[in-house]
């Protein structure tokens, strides 16, 4: 049976890291304006709510929790191994499934690359943090 035997401090730190990265990634200083335009949104009226931020924390926590469980059961012996697990989780579960939105739902390729780029950076760095606290 699969147990969530994780280092909770590592999961919490990785979650905070993903939320901070997301806040910067989707800010007007980086990709926020381009991302909003690619979705046809007006950046002047786009106002995140506490529910949006809470949802981001919840999703980040779930991702880091499961990534942490993977890192605990796989033969991860270094920070580089943690980064590799994050990369392959990204490739197999994020980059591939998110591309279905481009194919079937008409999601713009620009927003696809912004979104999967965020998850690539987040999962690789979270993998490193989780390997550190393995």
How would residue 131 be classed by pLDDT, with cut points 50, 70 and 90?
very high
Quick one: CA dihedral 39, 41, 43, 46, positive or negative?
negative
Largest CA distance in the chain: 49
What are 104-117's pLDDT values in tens digits? 999 999 999 999 99
pTM for this entry: 0.93
Would you state the structure tokens that stand for residue 114, as one six-digit string?
Answer: 């912004």
Alpha helices in 1-134 (DSSP H): 8-25, 32-38, 50-73, 79-89, 96-104, 109-132
Query: How far is the C-alpha of 55 from the C-alpha of 12, rounded, in Å?
Result: 15
Within 13 Å, how many C-alpha atoms sit on residue 90's CB side? 20
**Region class of 7: left (phi > 0), else alpha (psi between -120 and 50), else beta:** beta
What are 3-53's pLDDT values in tens digits? 688 999 999 999 999 999 999 999 999 999 999 999 888 877 778 889 989
Quick one: CA dihedral 91, 129, 61, 72, positive or negative?
positive
Q: Which sequence spans correspond to the domains of the chain?
A: 8-132
How would residue 2 be classed by pLDDT, with cut points 50, 70 and 90?
low
Query: For residue 1, is pLDDT > 70?
Result: no
């Amino acid at each position: 049976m699969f147990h969530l035997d994780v280092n909770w401090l590592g999961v919490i730190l990785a979650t905070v890291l993903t939320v901070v990265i997301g806040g910067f990634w989707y800010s007007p200083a980086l990709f926020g304006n381009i991302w909003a335009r690619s979705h046809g949104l007006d950046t002047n009226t786009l106002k995140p709510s506490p529910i949006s931020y809470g949802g981001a924390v919840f999703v980040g926590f779930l991702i880091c929790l499961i990534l942490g469980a993977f890192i605990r059961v796989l033969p991860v012996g270094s920070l580089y191994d943690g980064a590799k697990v994050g990369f392959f989780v990204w490739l197999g579960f994020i980059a591939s499934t998110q591309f279905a939105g481009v194919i079937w739902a008409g999601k713009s390729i620009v927003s696809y690359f912004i979104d999967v780029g965020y998850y690539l950076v987040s999962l690789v760095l979270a993998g490193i943090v989780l390997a550190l606290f393995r």
